[in-house]
Structures are given as structure tokens and as C-alpha cells.
Structure 1
Amino acid sequence: MTEHYEEADESANRVLSNRKVLGFVMGYWLRRPWLLAGTLVTTLAGIGFDLALPWASGRLVDAVAAGPSSQDLAWGAWGLFVGVYLVGSLMRNLAPRFWIPLAARNMREITEEGFGKVQSFSADWHGDNFSGATVRKLSRAMWGYDEVSDAVVMWLGPALAVLLGLSVMMILRWPLVGLFSLATVVFYIASNIFLTTTFARPLNLKSVGLDSRIGGAISDSIASNATVRGFGAEDRESTRIAGVTALWSTAVQRTWTRFTDIWLVQNLLLVLLQAGLTGLLLRLWARGEATAGDVAFGVTSFMLMSGYLRNIGDNIRMLQKGLDDVEDVARYLTLAPQVADAPGAPAFAGDLGEVVFDHATFGYKSAQQTLYRDFSLTIAPGERIALVGPTGSGKSTFVKLVQRLYDLDSGRILIDGQDVAKVTQGSLRRAIAVVPQDPALFHRTIGENISYARPGATADEIELAARRARAHDFITKLPKGYETLVGERGVKLSGGERQRVAIARAFLADAPILVLDEATSSLDVETEREVQAAMEELMVGRTTIVIAHRLSTIRGADRILVFENGQVIEEGRHAELVKRGGAYARLHAVTMGVG
């Protein structure tokens, strides 16, 4: 069987240009202009003193070359040389004091906003993407921003200013030397950019993609640890992960080798700069057109330029890596949510729980046929509705559309007279309490999981909800009671305990609409009896939609809707539907083991 690791997110195949990703990063710099200005001013001051260093060095050498009779002049030149270096060092140290708070706040915001954007994507998007890979992309983008920002502002910008400044200073004094220096610097930078973007970037993007794939594959395996152990498949999973990491290892070795090849080209160009700069000045000295101090100026300039050029080479590579790391989140923020709030949408306001499907048409993007076609239905406030039918008939989709997890192709859904597409999604979903078949709890305390429905709930309100859900007794028997951590997805609790925590959460939500998705199907008889009693109390005074596979749980429903291919083919109460002898009667006979 072929293993699949690729994400189905179509947008993942669209690579943003370096220019667009850099523009995305720069947008964060401009959010705090005073911190950015402080960084630039102190950095430019440091650059000015760097440019003065070769000049101060030349004055010192000329003063020393004049002999012991010029001691005062020499000591003055020495003081100037040391002072220039000292003040330049202080300026370079001052710049990060503006840059650090700017970077830390922007890194926080890029993570928060990337996470917020991912949360706004549809259920389809999340179903198509590994959660572990998405987490990897979000965390990598934060550090990618840091690499890009440091490379451009703290290194590349100052390096270019110093290199161009020194070249201009030499052009003004020795045109041939300065032009040679400028030509070498321009060729060095241009070749770096060209080789990095065309020779190294394609492989680096592949390495980054495989890095995300590792996160997705590991997360998938760890999240399914119980299944892995249940089949004794630990070695198989280790082999599977090894296959992914082997692909990454091969790709990253090729990437790093290409960057090393580029580094070799850089070093050869530095040898050319060293030989040409010092050789030309030595020639001028031999012809009496340059002093020993001028030669010292050239040597100091080369040392300064070579250091900056090495930094440029390293930081161009760092810049490209950072841009590739940020690219995923930058792309996320260009995507429109598949289900979006209308501009200026008001909050949902209603407590009756009337639900109306008005000529609704809907089909999943991956399906060949439309599921709901011109579908109309009304659920009265406080009515208990049960949805039954074979898998794929549209029961779960009905609830998802009520929650507006998907948008209709046409028609509308009204709750208490309000079009669900025209109110905010968050306020709508807070009016719908869902108790799923297999509740997934957060790896937090039981108290936090219950209060997730209403974060401001008091301890007494949490306990009351737990009592009404028949959960208080088992909670108090735990070592830390309501402060007990439940483990990832609630694995430390039994199925019945998780169900009762989910019911307590629904009690606390106190929403006008309640959805029960076969909430007792996987429980033993005694636990089912307790959970069923809690749900009966929960349903009082609420519009309730029950998705049922076990028909014995819905005999008391006000109305049973039998779904087939997105249409209601029968509806009525249990007894009358059995008596009618249609589709529901056949389902009932099968579940009861009759006929």
C-alpha cells in the first residue's frame, strides 16, 4: 500500500515570490515606526564610524611613519583610532535595544495572526491538512521572520552602506582602485543573489516542505498511539517515520551542499578583492603616488570589506531560508476564509431555537453530486427532532449546515428568523451546544474543559453543571478533583466519563439549540442509562436535534426524519413510522434483529 504524506491544500503548491514575502515581513516592521526609526538611526551612526575606521588607521600609520619626532601626532592619531572604534561599537550595541522589542512583539503577532487565520479556515481545509504540519509551519514562520529581519536590517543594510561608502571614498581618491572595489562588490552580491535564488532555493523549498511533512507524520502517529499499540505496529510506524526523515535528510544534504558551493565562489571572489585592492595600492606606492598610510587604508578597508562581504554571503543564505520559512504563513494570510462573516455582520440574537431550511442546495466540493437540492424544513422552538438514515444520507451535514461550518450553494437557513450567513459565526455557534459521539477534550483540567462553554463561569456553576450531567461523583473521586488533567483528547478518562464532561459543558453553555450526535452509542448499558438520564434533563426547554443510529434512543422524539440522499423520505413519530411499514420500519426491523 502506498503511504500518503502530501497535504491536499491546493494553495500549498503556490509559491509566493521573494518580493511578496519580504513585503509581508516589512509590513510588521512598519507597525512600530518609532522602534524601527531608533534601530535605523543608531545603525546608521554605527556605519558612519565603521567608514571612518580605515581613515583613522591611515592617519595613525602616517604619523608613525614620520618617526619618533611626531609622537604627539601619533598618540593623537592613536586616540582617534581607538575612539572611532569605541563609539562605533557602542552604536552597534545600542541598535539592538530598539530592535529586540520590535522583533519580539512582531514574532508574537505573526504567530497569533497566523493561528487566527488557520482557525478561520473551513472544516474541509482542516480535514485536508495535517495538524502537525500546520503547527510546524506556524512556529517556523516566527523564527523565519526573525532571520529575515535580522538579515535585512541588522546585517545586509549596514553591510551595503559600508561597502558602497568605502568604494566611493576610494573612487574619490584613487579612481581605478575604487572602481575595481565597487565592481568586485557588485559582482559578489549579484552572484550571491542569483546563485541563492536559482541554484539553491528550489532545493531549499523542497527541504522545508519535507520538514513540514515530518511534523505531520509524527503528529499523525502520536495522536493515534492507542491504535498503533493495539496492532503492535510500533516498528511499522518507526519505519514509516524513517522513510519520511530519509527523504528530508537526502534533500537537506543537497541543499546544504549547494550553499557550500556558493560559499566557495564567495571565497574566490574575496581572494580577488584582496589581491586587486592591495596590489593596486602597492603599485601606486611604488610609483610614489600613495603613502604607507594609504596602503594601511587599503589593507584595513579590505579587512572591513571582507568581513562585511562574508556576512552578506551568510545573510543572503539566511535571508532566503527565512523567506522560505515565512512563505507558508504569508500565503495563509492572503487566502480568504472559505466561510467568512459578512462585512459588519451582527451577533446572533435569539433564544427560541426555531430552525428553518429555506430551499437549501448544497454539495461538498469533492463530491460528484449535490447532496441537498431545494431542501426545505422547519423545526419548531423546543421540538425534539431525530435524524436517521444510512451513512452518507445527509444527517451530519444537516447539523454542520445549521452551525454554518459550510455555506450553502443557494437558499438560506434561518434560526429565530435570522439568516445564519448574515450573523457572526462565533455568536451563532455559541447558541448551539453539541455533544458528539466521541468528545475530544483539551489536555487541560476537567474544570477548564467544562467551563470552555462559558469561560467566566464560577466554580459553583461548573460543579452544578457537572452534577446535572451525573459527572460530579466520578470527578470528586479523582486525586485532584476538578483540577485533574484529562490528557490529550481526554485519554485519561473513560468513554462514559468523557461523555458526561461533554454534557456538563452543554449544560453550562445553556444554548437554545442542542445537538446530540449518537452520544450513547459506544457506552455500556449501565453508563448509557446514566448518560441518557442526564441528556433527558439537558433537552428540557431546548430545540434538540438527535443524530441516531440506534433507534431505541429516539422513541420519545417529537418527530423522526428519515434521510436518504439528502432528502427526507419519511417523517413522523416512532410508532406511526413503524406502523407505516416504510424505510423507517425496515431500519427498525434490522436494528431490533427482526425479519
Structure 2
Amino acid sequence: MPSRTLEAPAHADRSARSVDPAARRRLRKFLSYYRPHIPLLAADIACAIVIAATALALPVCANWITRNLSAAAGPEAAIVAILTMGGAMLALVGVQALCTLFVDYQGHVMGARIESRMRQELFEHLQKLSFGFYDRERTGQLMSRITNDLFAVGELCHHGPEDLAISLLKFLGAAAILAWLDPTLTGAILAAFPVAVVYALYFNGRMNVILRQGKAQIGAINARVEDSLSGIRVVKAFGAEAEETRRFAVENDRFLAIRRAGYLSEAHFSVGMEAFAQLVTLAVIVAGAVRVAQGALDVADLLTFLLCVAILIDPVRRAVNFVRLWQQGYTGFQRVMEVLETEPDIRDAPDARTLGRVRGEIRFQDVGFTYRIGGPPVLRGVSLDIRPGEFVALVGASGVGKSTLCALLPRFYEATSGRVLVDGRDVRDVTLESLRRNIGLVQQDVYLFAGTVLENLRYGRPDATRAEVEAAARRACAHDFIRELPDGYDTDIGERGVRLSGGQKQRLTIARAFLKDPPILIFDEATSALDNESERAVQQALTELARARTTLVIAHRLSTVRNADRIVVLAADGVVEEGRHDDLIAADGPYARLHRTQASL
């Protein structure tokens, strides 16, 4: 089972720590994504500092103009002084605009690059995870993490550093100017800020919970959409459009309820912060006017005080935006980390060796398997030896583990007990890539990718020439029908090969296996749903493909494996019978009973 790193602390005393170890580790991981962009990040923060500094300089310039009006020698001198300072202020505004342009563009580019790197890392990790992970997870949820969640992370990576830098500098700078103008009034204003902080932290916690619920629910919506649209032909065949609409409405309404609760908390947060800003401004106007009347403050200083209070409030507004970005971005990052911290069930051993082209000898030694710890066993003590080049059919009732046994060979799942060997080497001692390079699969559930016939055939060998592709198609009895397609090998076959018949899709998968040219072949028979002509073509292609290869066939129709070198009958307790068709019929055992049952249908 995959190991996650989100377990609760093992000892109660750990809960007293200020920061959870998992949270610290994730924070370090988050910050590590900035490492390749340190020069750009430094430039972004430098521009943010300049933005804050110019914003603070403007009220000081205004104070200088107001104070020096009366000190000027005459109107002309006053105008010259005003225009000079006005030019300086205009230059400050120009510098501020240029820095803001840099921050908005280059900062967004940096965030997009980090987002892109995370998305690539997440996708690569998803490729490494084993079948067991995908047995538990829904595709829509994973798609939500790789798209919606990472977009929010990108926004946080861009706006987070600059908002923090600007907010901190503006707040400290404005507070310093205010304290220089009137320490008493400044102290009274700053004393009110802890109330705003407590208020913000309360609704911040509420928004965090709701945002996590919302991201999980949008994943559920994606899963519902993906499931419904992937099976749209089944939906229409059963006339179930209304039922699918009802199911989607249920998930959509749940998401709406979560969004409504989130917007309520966000509204309380934003309104509270805005009200706080307005109250502070009002208090400054009233208290400042009183201080002017008392002679403790002059009009020039009151004007500067009001301008600086506006600057002091801006960090509060930015804090509102930063908290929103933090909640959305870091919540999304945590959901991404939950996947990245999921260890693959199956991986290369530290000393795994590369497996060259094998002869094809296969041995299952006392193999047992369960899909989950403590779950019911699917396989018990299965032992089976297969000679190189032998054609072996696995038969038995549904659920006895025929497909599971074959899935252990390429290590799609790991045997719970016993060993699986290829040419005498345990499959756990060789690299996954080299092991799977030696095995070809023609599965019952045919899957073709959206694209052309040529792209699908080259999937296992992207470097194959067109001549090699056509040769493989001929051997799979697919070349003739491919040539009749509108654009031949360059025909777009649609999503999952929807524009092809079942027999055509099956022959393409066989051609793909021919092109790979593996010494070991696993064929999960899928001819039962085909018409007679398609079945004959597929059987002919299969016979050609199996020649001179070790072949394992999962047989559902016993008539298709009469000529197998050996037929192995699986039951709940493992291998119960094996031999050639005629010998097993004569023995009148489990195989003969299965054969009679199918013949009577």
C-alpha cells in the first residue's frame, strides 16, 4: 500500500509544537520551487520595495510643499518650488509605474513557470504510480489537482512575495512617518490593529476549511463529468440522460452550497477589513482636527497624516488579497502534495539490473496475492512453469484470478507471497522498464489514444519507420482496412478509436504488439464480442503473433484455445488441472465440466 506522510503525530506531546513536521516539510518544498528563479524573484521584490518606497515618498513631498509655501520669498519663488517638487513627484510616479509593470508581467511569468514545473512534476509522478493507486482514485479528482489546484498555486507564487514585501514596507514606513508627526495619535491608531488581526485570523481559519471542501468537491464534479462523458454511448443507449443530469445536479448543488458558505466567510472577512480601514480614517480626521485645534499638530502635518493613513490601510487591503491567495494556493498545493507524497507500490529495487531480451521461460512459485492488506486472497499458492515459446491458455470461472496472475508478470501488481521469475530471474530484481520491454499485451479492454492510426501503432516504438509500421499491420491483418480509411495511416480515429469497429481496434492493438516484437505475449482474449468475420481475422492475427513467442492467453471461450500447447485450469485453490484439450476432456475433470457448460449455452 502507498505510504503517505500525512499521518497524525505518534505522540501526544508533539501536538504542542507550534508547527507540524509535515507542514514544515511542505513549506520547505513550496519554497524550493523559487530556487531556479532567485534572480527574477530578487528583481521582483526589489521592484516591490521601490513601489512601497515611492508610495511613502509622495506624502513626504506633499508635506514639504505645504510647509514651504509660506516660507517662499514670493509667489514666483513658491511656484518654482512647487513645480520643481511636482516634477520630482512625477518622476517618482513614473518609476513606480515602471516597477509595477515589471512586477505584474515578470512576476506572473515567474508564477507561471513555477506552476508549469509543478504540473510537470505531478504528471511525471502520476506516471510512476502503480495500478493500485488508480484502483482507488478517480480520474476527475486527479485532473482537478493538475489543473485547478495548480493554477491557484501559480497565482500565490506570483503575488505572495510582492504582496508581503509591499505590505510590510508600507506598514512600517507609514507607521514611522506617522510616529514622527504625532506619536500619541499614532499609538492610538496602532493599538486598534490587533483587533483586526484577531478578526482576520478567525475568518481565515473558516475559509481554509471551506476552500479544502470546495477543491475536493470540484474534483468530484470533474469525476462525474469524466465518467458520464466517457460513457455517453451507454448513457444514450439506456436513455439515462435524465438520471445523469440528476446525478450531476446533486454534485453541482453541493459545490454551490460550499461556495455559498465560502463567500459568506469571505464577505465577513472583506467587509470587516474595509470597515476597519474606514474607521481608522474617520478616527484620524476627528482626532487630528482636535489635535490641530489644540495646537499639537499643524495643518500640513494633518494632511500628511491623512495621506500616510491611506498608505497604512493599503497593507490591510493587500493582506485581504494575500490571505485569499494563500488559502486558495496553499490549499491547492497541499492537495498536490498528497499525490506527490504517495509512494509507488511498485518501484525498481536499489540494485535492480537491466534485463536483456529474454528466452521467455516463466515460473510462478507458490504465488499468493491480495489487493489490500487484510483483504480476501485472490490467488493462493499458484505454481506454474512455462517453457520458452510455449502457448499456454489460462481458463477457469470468473474471479479465480486469471487476469491477476498475468498482471503479476509485468509487475502491474506485486505478489503478496511467492515469486515470479522470467528466465530464472525474480521480476523484482530487474528494472521495470527492461521487464516490460520484453512483454507485449493485447488486452480485453482495447484502448486506443486520440490521434492517427500511425501514432497509435508507433506508441510502443516512436522511432519505427513507416515501412516497419506497415509490415506490422500486414502481419496483424490490419493493413487492408487501414488503406481503405479516408487518410490511410494518417486517419484520425477519434477518442478511444471511436471511428473504428471492435475488430479493427483489436487488430490495431495486435499490430502495435507486432511492432514492439516482445518475446513474451499476454493476450486477454476479447473475440467473444466480435462478429464471425472479425473474430476469424483477429484469431488469424493472434496465431501469427504468438508464433515463436511465449504466450499466455486468458481464455473466456474455450473453443478458441483448443490448439494450445497446454491448458491450465485455475480455481480458488490455485492450479487444479493442466494438459492438452483432448487429454483434459478425456480426464472428465474441471475443464471437461467447463467445456460442457459452455457447449450447452
**TM-score range normalised by the length of the shorter chain:** over 0.9
Map of 1:171 onto structure 2 = 179
Return 5+ residue gaps in structure 1 as ranges. Answer: 1-7
Q: 2:297 & 2:66 partners in 1: Cα distance?
A: 13
Return the offset for 1:172. 4.2
Per the alignment, residue 48 of structure 1 pairs with 53
Q: TM-score, normalised by structure 1?
A: 0.93
SS in 2 for 1:31: helix
Percent identical among aligned pairs is 33
Cα distance in 1, alignment partners of residues 70 and 339 from structure 2:
63
Once structures 1 and 2 are overlaid, which stretch shifts more, 482-491 or 370-379? 370-379
**Does the aligned pair in 2 maintain the 1:60–1:81 contact within 8 Å?**
no
Structure 1 pair 189–347 and aligned structure 2 pair: CA distance change class (3 A): farther
Asked if 1:579 is matched to 2:574, the reply is no
- Over residues 334-389 of structure 1, what are the superposed CA-to-partner deviations in whole Å (9 max), with x where a residue is unaligned? 12112222235333323212112233332121773323334332211111111000
In structure 1, the partner of 2:38 is 33
SS of equivalent residue, structure 2 residue 497:
coil
Residue 134 (structure 1) aligned with residue 142 (structure 2): yes
Deviates further, 69-78 or 442-451: 69-78
Which structure 2 residues correspond to residues 174-193 of structure 1 after superposition, within 5 A?
174-193=182-201
Who is 2:14 aligned against?
Answer: none
Contact 1:151-1:316 within 8 A present in 2 as well: no
Change (3 A) 1:228 1:552: same
Q: Return the alpha-carbon distance in structure 1 between the equivalents of residues 488 and 212 of structure 2.
A: 49
SS of the aligned residue for 2:578 comes to strand
Are 1:168 and 1:178, in contact at CA under 8 Å, matched by a contact in 2? no
For the aligned residues, what is the CA RMSD?
2.5
* 2:542 matches 1:535: yes
| CA drift at 1:51 | 2.4
> How far apart, CA to CA, are the structure 1 residues paired with 2:474 and 2:590?
39
- Seen in structure 2, the aligned counterparts of structure 1 residues 213 and 269 have a Cα distance that, compared at 3 Å, is same
| Aligned with 2:516 (options 499, 509, 527) | 509
Of 389, 396, 407, 2:396 maps to 389
Residue in 1 that maps onto 2:462: 455
- The one of 425, 433, 437 aligned to 2:444: 437
Deviation digits for residues 405-432 of structure 1 (CA, Å, limit 9, x no counterpart) = 1112233222123322232323322221
For 2:464, what is the secondary structure of its paired residue?
coil
From 332, 340, 360, the counterpart of 1:353? 360
Q: 1:566 to 1:299 in 2, by over 3 A?
A: farther
Moved more, 86-95 or 500-509: 86-95
Q: 1:573 to 1:204 in 2, by over 3 A?
A: same
Cα distance, 1:445 vs. partner? Answer: 0.9
CA contact (8 A) 1:62 1:291 kept: no
Distance in 1 (CA, whole Å) between partners of 2:189 and 2:435 is: 66
**2:116 counterpart of 1:108:** yes
CA distance in 2, matches of 1:581, 1:493: 42
What amino acid is aligned across from residue 33 of structure 2 in structure 1? Y
The residue aligned with 1:5 is: none
In the alignment, is residue 228 of structure 1 matched against residue 235 of structure 2? yes
| Counterparts of residues 115-514 of structure 1 (less than 5 Å) | 115-197=123-205, 199-343=206-350, 345-365=352-372, 368-514=375-521
Give 1:18 shift. Answer: 6.9
What is the CA-CA distance between 1:579 and the residue it aligns to? 0.9
Aligned letter for 1:225? I
Aligned 8 A contact 1:137 1:325 in 2:
yes
Q: Give, in angstroms, the shift of residue 488 of structure 1.
A: 1.7
Deviates further, 453-462 or 357-366:
357-366
Does the residue aligned with 1:371 lie in a helix, a strand or coil?
Answer: strand
Alpha-carbon distance change, 413 to 553 in structure 1, aligned in 2, over 3 angstroms:
same
In the TM superposition, residue 306 of structure 1 has moved relative to its aligned partner by 2.6
Deviates more, 1:297-306 or 1:501-510: 297-306
Separation of aligned partners in 2, 1:193 and 1:340: 43
User: Does residue 547 in structure 1 map to residue 562 in structure 2?
Assistant: no
Which amino acid letter does the alignment assign opposite residue 37 of structure 2? R
User: Structure 1 32/575 Cα, relative in aligned 2: closer, same or farther at 3 Å?
Assistant: same
CA distance in 1, matches of 2:188, 2:464: 73
Taking the aligned partners of 1:346 and 1:95, their CA distance within structure 2 comes to 50
Q: Which residue identity is paired with 1:91?
A: C
The superposition leaves residues 446-467 of structure 1 with CA deviations (integer Å, 9 ceiling, x where unpaired) of: 1111110111111111111111
Give 3-state SS (helix, strand or coil) of 1:57's partner: helix
Change over 3 Å in CA distance of 1:274–1:188 after alignment to 2: same
User: TM-score scaled by structure 2?
Assistant: 0.92
Change (3 A) 1:13 1:591: farther
Instruction: Say whether the 8 Å CA contact 2:393–2:561 is kept in structure 1.
Output: yes
How far 1:320 moved relative to its partner? 0.7
Report the Cα distance in structure 2 between the residues aligned to 1:129 and 1:369, rounded to whole angstroms: 21
Q: Secondary structure at the match of 1:516?
A: strand
User: Are 2:63 and 1:58 aligned?
Assistant: yes
1:190 CA drift (Å) = 4.5
* Residue-pair matches, total: 586
In structure 2, distance between residues paired with 1:43 and 1:192: 24
